[in-house]
Structures are given as structure tokens and as C-alpha cells.
Amino acid sequence: MRVAFLTAPEGVEEIELTEPWKAVLGAGWNPQLVSTEAGLVQAFHHLDKAGTYPVDRVLASRTAESFDALVLPGGVANPDALRMYEPAVDFTRDFFASAKPVAAICHAPWLLVEADAVRGRTLTSWPSLATDIRNAGGTWVDEEVRVCHAGPSTLVTSRKPDDLDAFCAALVKEFGD
């Protein structure tokens, strides 16, 4: 299974990238770092720079067919930049149109809102996104992890780094089904 991890060139929360990445590797799958630019992605630990990670593939519109699933790590700057970049929005939207599973943590559901992928779904996120999710037609819940099977695609969401164990377990289970 090829799993896309979509990030902006800067601003992804490091642990929200690395822990799901390890879970995907542990399941025997092939994670691929997809970004809007070639080179390295600069990760952060909250507001402090952390590690850098090599980009495997530069995002091009309509490339979701190359992947079986999508993981959207958070960080505040990462999804905020991605939701303003139409190829990232299209890429995300394509996973839902293709009935492929998607997982998003923390602030990453901002990109789901922009892709019009939360309408009729129940999900969780960092609490500050609750109003955005409701305004986009979704139902926001304050839970460690939420799996939503509404619509053709399974959606796994989580609130924050403290929820990573549950998030990783749920995404491996749901992506494997």
C-alpha cells in the first residue's frame, strides 16, 4: 500500500509526521512524503524548528491515483498553507472522490474544510477548528480519535499529539480494511 503524507515545505508538526509514518512502515506499507516543492520539508516542534525530511514527490494536481491512502499531519502553518494551494486541495478532494481512506490530525482538517470533505461527516480536530468544521457542514466532537464511515471514504481524525497512539492504531486498522 502506498500512503501519501501531504505537507507544506514548512510548518508541519514533526511528531504528527513521524509517528504515523512509523505506523505505516510498521504495517509493511510504503509512505511517501508529498509536498508542494522539491527538496526538504522543515518540521517544527510547536514553534521551534525541528528535523528536515526529504520530499519523495512534488505535488501535482490530480495525482491521488498513485496512492492508496492519505495522511494529513498537522501543525498550524502546514494545513493553513496547503488550504491556500489549489493543487493540494484538489489532491485531497481526489482521495474522497476515489473512495480512498484519509487520516488527519490536529489542524489538518482545515484542508478538509477547504476541500469540502467534512459535509455530513463527524470528526475531531484541534478545538479551535470546531466552528470551521460546523460551518462547513460537519459535526465536531471532542474525542481522542474519531473514525467516520459516512460517504465513500473512511476518515480518521484526531485532536493533538497526545492522541497519536490512538490515531496511529486507528489509521492502520482502517487503511488495512
pLDDT at site 62: 58
**Taking all residues of the chain, what is their mean pLDDT, rounded to a whole number?**
96
Averaged pLDDT in 10-residue chunks for the chain of 177 residues: 98 98 98 97 96 94 85 97 96 96 98 97 98 98 98 95 98 96
pLDDT at site 61: 57
**CB distance 82 to 50 below 8 Å:** no
148 is catalytic: no
Q: Which of 107, 148, 149, 168 is catalytic?
A: 107
Q: CA-to-CA distance for 172 and 15, rounded, in angstroms? A: 17
CATH number at residue 18: 3.40.50.880
pLDDT at site 177: 86
What torsion do the CA atoms of 149, 100, 158, 139 make, to the nearest 10 degrees? Answer: -40
Q: Which of 106, 148, 149, 168 is catalytic?
A: 106
pLDDT at site 63: 73
pLDDT at site 151: 85
**CB distance 133 to 143 below 8 Å:** no
Domain count, the chain: 1
Cell numbers 460551518: residue: 135
What lies within 8 Å, CB to CB, of 135 at 6+ separation is: none
106 is catalytic: yes
Segments forming the whole domain that contains residue 110:
2-176
pLDDT at site 64: 87
